[in-house]
Amino acid sequence: MGIPLVPKLLRAHLAELAENDSRHDGRGRFEGRDLELEIDCLVRAEGSARVRMGDTIVYAGVKFQIMTPYPDRPNEGGLMCSAEIRPVAGRGWEPGPPSPESIELGRVVDRGIRESGCINVEELCLIPGEKAWQVILDLFAISDDGNLFDAFALAGIAALKSAVLPAERYEIGEDRPLGVAKTPVMCSYHKVGGRFVYDADKREELGGDERIHITLGDDDHVHSLQKGLKGIFTAAEFDEIMVEARSKCAELRSLLDQKLAGE
């Protein structure tokens, strides 16, 4: 099947705007939408955050449970991350089991956090081979207007860094903050009209091509690099994206640090 008429017309319009280095909402190529970050917004979660990027709104919640360590990792606790997007979030999302798109969202966010090593899973072990903490990070989209990846990733690390282990509830000591040593932050870039842009909204995603997701740590180390959809990018394009990602990730990390400090 060919490209449906509406996306085809949209692609042509976005390509025309790109010739003048413009975007349909007036932003610059690497300019993000208005951003809001709220910490500790879910009463029944051990850690939580809300992120709004333009009209994209997501929540992240952290819960803990006691698990039996895996036989091949008897001295480690666990980390589990999942994303859920209900039909109320926007067109294209259906009720029922997790879609491939929502599974991809959860896995890409999980990978950036896990590969950063920001959570020392050995410190989650209570009794080797018998008992350990499992960290459960749930991501929920309330409104999808594009770039759920970055919104979920920011909300996820914010929720983790604000999380408190409920040891008193399980009668195994005093409550204490979850140790999160680093702050991995994701920035995503979408090829729209033949050039990459930051923080694509839903129209740009619909009329765009391949995308790339970069998770950087405090020291600019690349913790994860994920390419999505079909297409290629050149070495020059990648160099340009990395320069922008370092700057934007540092900006988002600073915002998160301010919120966690209560500023």
The DSSP annotation for the chain comes to ----HHHHHHHHHHHHHHHTT--TTS--TTPPPPEEEEES--TTSSEEEEEEETTEEEEEEEEEEEEPPPTT-TT--EEEEEEEE-GGG-TT--SSSPPHHHHHHHHHHHHHHHHHT-S-GGGGEEETTTEEEEEEEEEEEEE-SS-HHHHHHHHHHHHHHT-EE-TTTTTSS--EE-------EEEEEEEETTEEEES--HHHHHT---EEEEEE-TT--EEEEEEESS----HHHHHHHHHHHHHHHHHHHHHHHHHHTT-
CATH number at residue 134: 3.30.230.70
pLDDT digits (tens, 9 = 90+) for 224-261: 999 988 888 889 999 999 999 999 999 999 999 999 98
pTM for this structure?
A: 0.94
pLDDT band for position 5 (cuts 50, 70, 90): low
Containing structural domain, residue 63: 5-260
pLDDT band for position 173 (cuts 50, 70, 90): very high
Q: In sequence order, what are the residues at sequence separation of 6 or more whose Cβ sits closer than 8 angstroms to the Cβ of residue 154?
A: 37, 49, 51, 185, 186, 252, 256
Q: Is the pLDDT of residue 144 over 70?
A: yes
pLDDT band for position 58 (cuts 50, 70, 90): very high
pLDDT band for position 263 (cuts 50, 70, 90): low
Q: What are phi and psi of 85, to 5 degrees?
A: -125, 110
pLDDT band for position 1 (cuts 50, 70, 90): very low
pLDDT digits (tens, 9 = 90+) for 64-104: 999 999 999 999 999 999 999 989 999 889 888 888 999 99
Q: Express as a percent the part of the chain with pLDDT over 70.
A: 97
Number of domains into which the chain is organized: 1
The structure tokens 């599974």 sit at 103
pLDDT band for position 14 (cuts 50, 70, 90): very high
